[in-house]
Amino acid sequence: METIKAKKDKIRKLTGSKAMVQALEQELVRDKNIIVMGEDVGKYGGIFGSTTGLYDKFGPERIMDTPISETGFIGAAIGAAAAGLRPVVELMFVDFHGVVMDQIYNHMAKIHYMSGGNVKLPIVLLTGVGGGYSDAAQHSQTLYASFGHLPGMKVVAPTFPEDIKGMLIAAIRDDNPVVFMFHKTLQGLGWMDQLQASLGPVPEDAYTIPLNKAKVVREGKDVTIVGVQMMTIEALNAAGKLAERGIDAEVIDLRSIKPIDKETLLKSVAKTNRLVVVDEDYLSYGITAEISAIMASEGFHHLKSPIVRLAIPDVPIPYSRVLEKYVIPDAQDIINAVENMITV
């Protein structure tokens, strides 16, 4: 929230999706080279509300519905970016990345490097992530690490409306490719779970929030819990309950999947000496792995007990509610883990 001058700005409560739309709208006005492309981003306004109303304001020339041709239109975004546009392009669900991953990681992510810095690709790839509403194995993933593993893209996954707006504007203004993951449940849509956290204060004027910084969303001294998006929400819920039991947890909202803000993490664990990482992505080679590794190599001496990893055990996401609930970590899992860790 670095650039807000609180005095002058109006601040209103917006949902995650409205924060996205506001960011896009302000930027579309500011820079004529921005176009938005994707399936159902036009009249429909984006399946998860990321572009609601923009078609009416900016018309089909700037808000372009596409065929179901992700390689075609995300590939075209690359060519258009090289030719001077600043495309914001939506991959409706991150689960579909496999039909277009070549364009994303072999081209969008690498061309700047392969060209020795001569070609710039200012592209924002919006994509919806997350489960918890029984959309089953092909529509519920987050795949944070699938993107975080590959060099050449910034990958962000903000949680709160204020961060969503500020980081989206920062992403649009960045001259590098940025993968911007929005969590479906945090969009505050009328037809999904209504979470308090999906509505929050958002300054009206345009502002940017850095793409590479985690945020301490709750200070504490006994244990550090790192989450991202819905897992940050679960961590905050857990921290609330843990407080009642006399455990003072610090909660960090990762925000940036790549690069990871090591500094904030190391500082926290230097204080708490204990680390729990919670992830809505798969366990192996995921966020719990990377953060644990950072700690075991660069923060080793801070640690006084084994790190705890909570994530989707290495199974596809099942459909049936009872099964899905079982595999996605929640506040209770975190509480159990922390209580196990700390003998109060």
Partner 1 sequence: MKNNNKNDLLQIYRTMKTSRYFEERMEKAYLEGKQPIFNIGAGPVPGEMHLSNGQEPAAAAMIVHLTKDDTVTATHRPHHQAIAKGVDLKKMTAEIFGKKTGLGKGKGGHMHLFDPTVKFSCGGIVGAGIPHAVGAALANKKKGEDWVAVAFIGEGAANSGAFHESLNLAALWNLPFILVVEDNSWGISVAKKNSTSVPSNDIRAKAYGIKGYLVKDNDPVEMYKVSKEAVDRARNGGGPSIIEIETYRFLGHFQGDPELYRNKEEVPTLRGKDPIERLKNHLLKENLATPAEISALENKVYEVVDDAYEFAIHSEYPEPNEALEDVFC
Q: Say whether residue 99 binds ligand TPP (CB under 6 A).
A: yes
How far is the C-alpha of 304 from the C-alpha of 159, rounded, in Å? 29
| 8 Å CB contact between 27 and 171 | no
- 126 bridge partner residues: 90, 180
| Residues in 59-78 at the binding interface with ligand TPP, rule: CB under 6 A | 68, 70
> Which helix (H) or strand (E) segment is 86 a member of?
strand 86-93
Q: Of residues 14, 24, 48, 75, which one binds partner 1 by CB under 8 A?
A: 75
- Binding mask 273-302 vs its own copies (x if CB under 8 A, - otherwise)? --------xx-xxxxxxx-xx-xxxx-xx-
How far is the C-alpha of 240 from the C-alpha of 248, rounded, in Å? 9
Q: Say whether residue 9 binds partner 1 (CB under 8 A).
A: no
Structure tokens at 283: 């366990």
Q: Say whether residue 267 binds partner 1 (CB under 8 A).
A: no
Nearest residue to ligand TPP by CB is 96
Place of tokens 């897992």: 231
| 8 Å CB contact between 284 and 312 | no
Q: Residue 69: helix, strand or coil by DSSP?
A: coil
Judged by beta carbon, residue 78 or residue 217, the one nearer ligand TPP is 78
Beta carbons within 8 Å of 327's beta carbon, 6+ residues apart: 312, 313, 315, 317, 318
Cis peptide before 259 (omega within 30 of 0): yes
Q: Say whether residue 154 binds its own copies (CB under 8 A).
A: no
Judged by beta carbon, residue 29 or residue 293, the one nearer its own copies is 293
- Binding mask 310-329 vs its own copies (x if CB under 8 A, - otherwise)? ----xxx-xx----------
Judged by beta carbon, residue 95 or residue 222, the one nearer ligand TPP is 95
Is 149 known to be catalytic?
Answer: no
| Residues in 37-56 at the binding interface with ligand TPP, rule: CB under 6 A | 39
- 244 bridge partner residues: none
Q: Say whether residue 249 binds its own copies (CB under 8 A).
A: no
The listed partner (partner 1, ligand TPP, its own copies, none) that binds 101, CB under 5 to 8 Å by sort, is its own copies
Is 139 known to be catalytic?
Answer: yes
Judged by beta carbon, residue 138 or residue 305, the one nearer partner 1 is 138
Q: Say whether residue 35 binds partner 1 (CB under 8 A).
A: yes
How far is the C-alpha of 259 from the C-alpha of 301, rounded, in Å? 23
Helices (H), the chain: 16-30, 54-58, 70-82, 101, 111-114, 144-148, 161-173, 230-244, 262-272, 287-298, 321-327, 331-341
Binding footprint of its own copies on the chain (CB under 8 A)? 71, 95-106, 109-110, 113-114, 136-138, 145-146, 148-152, 258-260, 281-282, 284-290, 292-293, 295-298, 300-301, 303, 305-309, 314-316, 318-319
Which amino acids are annotated catalytic? 70, 139
